Structure 1
């Protein structure tokens, strides 16, 4: 064979691989942020559930403090719900970007594979032609020896 296969668009493939890797990191970071907000929201909801009952035997000041605390929790829950929705939207955007990067990279990889297969077929054909020529020369040489000796 005349040499190893060299893909002319290897730099493009490397660039697309880098884009995909960066996109994966961004996606993981967005997913981590969303999970943190979700965990915080669940914690706030648990706190709200644990303290939502205001007992009548408590003093008015304690009831008022508890009510203010519950209002603050409720406000935080509403705020975190909005943040969670935003993080969900960002995560979806990152997921779509990652899919696009994967498709773009896969397109170039498929092109590389097809060109490599074509290259190998061409190399095999060249090798087969050389082998056929060697066999033909050997046949002619052996045939002239046999017929030349008679």
Structure 2
């Protein structure tokens, strides 16, 4: 029985490699987005914690608190913009990954079809050989009588 040799195996290997690289890029972009998202959530928690005004504070402490809240609010706005950019990058990486998976699967499906075709041909050749052996055996038995 002959061995199956897929002529586009190198192409399949290259596309698989590109898909793996795209997966790594996607995971990296996901990690960066998660990091920015966590930072933004921490800032929002700090803002909500220090947003309440207490009666016990004097004017200086209230002014310091107000300045801190203003700076925190500005940072929250900047982080929100950064998060939106990271989400856009993540979506772009996701689309690239889908594209790479489609490319790989296209060649993989082609390989599967070629392998099935190869196996069908092998089965046919084997069946023809078995039929010939059976015919030779039948003829030999008929002549021997």
Q: What is the correspondence of 1:96-135 to structure 2 with a 5 Å cutoff?
A: 96-135=95-134
Gaps of 5+ in 2: none
Q: Find the aligned partners of 1:57 and 1:27 in 2 and give their Cα distance.
A: 50
Q: Residue 67 of structure 2 corresponds to which residue in structure 1?
A: 68
In the TM superposition, residue 64 of structure 1 has moved relative to its aligned partner by: 1.0
In the TM superposition, residue 56 of structure 1 has moved relative to its aligned partner by 4.3
Query: Superposed, which structure 2 residues align to 1:53-92 within 5 Å?
Result: 53-92=52-91
Report the TM-score when normalising by structure 1: 0.94
User: What residue number does 1:138 align with?
Assistant: 137
Alignment of 1:5-84 (within 5 A): 5-84=4-83
> Aligned partners of 1:116 and 1:58: how far apart in 2?
79
* Structure 1: segments with no counterpart, 5+ residues: none
Aligned length: 145
Cα distance per residue 1:58-116 (max 9 Å; x no partner) = 22211111111001100110000000000000000000000000000000010000000
Structure 1 runs (4+) deviating above 2 angstroms are 54-57
- Give the C-alpha shift of residue 57 in structure 1: 3.8
> Which whole-Å deviations, capped at 9, do the CAs of 1:26-45 have from their partners, x for residues lacking one?
11111111011000000000
Separation in structure 2 between the aligned mates of residue 57 and residue 44 of structure 1, nearest angstrom: 24
Cα distance in 2 for partners of 1:39, 1:89 equals: 17
